[in-house]
Chains A and B, each alone.
Chain A
Amino acid sequence: MSTQNVRKSKFAKVSGLPWVLPAFVFVVGLIYYSIFYTFNLSTLDWNGLDPVQTKVGFSNFTKLFGDWVFWKAIKNTIVFFVVTFVIQNVLGYIFAAILHTEVKLATLHKCIVFIPVILAPATMAPVFRLLFSPQGLLQDIFNWLHIGITVDWLSKPGSALFILMIITIWNFTGMSFILYYAAMSQIDKEMLEAAHLDGAGNFRTLLSIVFPNCMGTTISLAMLGVIGALKTFDIPYLVTTGGPNHATEFLGTYIYRQGIRQAHLGYAAAISVILLVLAIGGAILMNRLNRVEGK
């Protein structure tokens, strides 16, 4: 014990400040500056160019809480998170289970599911606009099968959000798959064999033995999902620009619409403050869950 302390203290005496300071100044400087600037902006009525900035106190926030588009964006974020989280992880889990079994062309399947993860949403957006339009491949397939459906879902408020969820699920199943795949490699083979010997079927084993052993991964994915849902911007902005009639509005797209498009910097900053509170709150909540699970 004492020798360890002596050993440790020798190196622990060297000041780490010069090693930490560059990163600290860079991150804290840029990000905290922006956060405080945002707080300040949120109390102004300003278009970003006008020399006159009008102080309005908290009126941006009171206006925000009465703004139906803001509530629509919150509702969309929640629905979006719940649906994509469940479907994407169920699919990723099944892919991982199948690819842990001896199947043919496993690497090819793995690549196809994982490629969407590395492609930029911005690159794929025009593809999805075409795919889900009457000129797209889906329409061709429906016509060929003589199914009388018109593919115009992106222009309908009722279905547009649903299509964005499909795109997101396409985008990130590979991520869930890779994580579950890694988690399943850690599971004791003997435990599975014992379960099979006891007469547990494949589905029973997957549900009552494999799934509980992947709990840590599921929590990690939930955390990624919450943060991802709050950050959502590229896909709704590029595929539907938040429309039709704000049906696919998210906090990110609304901030962009208000702040950049309409130059209501103060109002956009007020939405940013709420988003910031939600993001940090979400992180703390998830951290708690994680610790409970860890015990």
Chain B
Amino acid sequence: MFELRSKKSKVALQLVLLIMTIPYLIPLVQMIIGSLGGIGVLNYKAVWNTGVVPTYFRNSVIISACVILLVYLFSMTAAFGFSKLHIFGKELYFWMILVALTLPEVILLSPLFVTFQRLHMFNTLFAVILPLAALQLPFMILLARNFDDGIPNELLEAARIDGASTFQTFLNIIIPLTKPIASSIVVLTLVNSWNAYLMPLLFLQSSDMQTVTLLPQFFQGEFTNDQTKILAAAVMTAVPEIIVYIVMQKNFEKGMSAGALK
């Protein structure tokens, strides 16, 4: 974007970039320095020895996997229906789903709190999976439908002439063609459900059911505010996320920016 001719201005720009980037690094540096305070690396050992870290990770993995599966299945099928098939009053249904697009999850708090208690769903992973999936679906359906609208009808027609059923057409044409948007949907859903805090906080009470976002709280109780161990736990939570991001950098950047589609 900048047109720079002199060596001096190139160095200056590089310097500006460095100065602007440093503040973004400070919290990460603080996290690592903080986790090495007191007994140093042994903080990590103490955290690991509590034995809860793998359990919290397992729960987060189960929740994210289920939410992704639900969101993928429902958004793909619904988008196909909305985009390509005949539905009486189609736009009304679509609009009814879209109303939920901007819904803050905190609105679901009281109703779900009371309802889950009645249905004895408290402290089950379902109590987190279902609302998380329902909250993400409207947007993902919108994304997928916009994408499906760009698939030419002629392609589907050709399949039909070859004798393919609607289901076969969906499976053999729509699914392969929608891979780009599907990868964005998976990444967005993964980040949102992995980072979810409020629903697990509210509905998962026992520590064998909780998720990685609740680890800091667990250690606050466990180590009575020993910051170093809480930060060691934070590092152990953050590192896998950063590794996954770096490995799949392009997918993440594309997926997250799909979140701003108009």
Contacts and interface: CB of A to CB of B under 8 A. Distances in A.
Contacts of A182: 257
State the 9 A-B residue pairs at the shortest beta-carbon distance, nearest first. Answer: A16-B85, A19-B81, A16-B81, A37-B111, A120-B195, A23-B78, A122-B213, A23-B74, A20-B81
Interface in B59-113: 70, 73-75, 77-78, 80-82, 84-87, 90, 93, 96-97, 99-113
B230 interface: yes
Main secondary structure of the interface of B (DSSP, over half): helix
A27 B260 contact: no
Interface in B1-42: 1-4, 13-14, 16-17, 20-21, 23-31, 33-34
A221 B261 CA distance: 9
A242 interface: no
A111 B113 contact: no
B29 A137 contact: yes
In terms of DSSP, what is the predominant structure of the interface of chain A? helix
B175 interface: no
Interface stretch (B47-55, B134-142, B178-186): B134-142
Nearest to B31: A127
A53 B197 CA distance: 30
B224 interface: no
Contact of A120 (B2, B81, B237): B237
A185 to B, nearest CB: 10
A152 interface: no
A60 B31 CA distance: 43
A24 to B, nearest CB: 6
Given A192-B1, A202-B1, A230-B102, 7 more contacts: A27-B138, A98-B1, A118-B252, A120-B237, A124-B31, A130-B30, A259-B113
Interface in A119-161: 119-128, 130-131, 135-138
Residue among B100, B104, B154, B194 with max Cβ neighbours from chain A (10 Å):
B104
A112 B262 contact: no
A233 B82 contact: no
10 contacts: A35-B111, A48-B110, A48-B113, A109-B21, A114-B245, A115-B28, A120-B195, A175-B260, A256-B198, A279-B104
B69 to A, nearest CB: 13
Contacts of A173: 24
B109 A37 contact: no
Interface residues of B, number: 101
A233 B109 CA distance: 12
Given A20-B77, A126-B227, A131-B27, A100 B1 contact: yes
A98 B141 contact: no
B154 to A, nearest CB: 7
Contacts, number: 307
B256 A117 contact: yes
B77 A22 contact: yes
A295 interface: no
B160 A11 contact: yes
Contacts of B231: 126-127, 130
Interface in A1-33: 7-8, 10-20, 22-24, 26-28, 30-33
Contacts of B113: 48, 259-260
B137 A26 contact: yes
B2 A97 contact: yes
Most chain A CB within a 10 A radius of its CB, from B3, B75, B131:
B3
B78 A104 contact: no
Nearest to A34: B111
A96 to B, nearest CB: 8
A124 B213 CA distance: 10
A175 B252 CA distance: 11
Contact of B4 (A101, A224, A233): A101
B234 A123 contact: yes
B30 A131 contact: yes
B74 A22 contact: yes
Nearest to B27: A127
A255 B106 contact: yes
B37 to A, nearest CB: 9
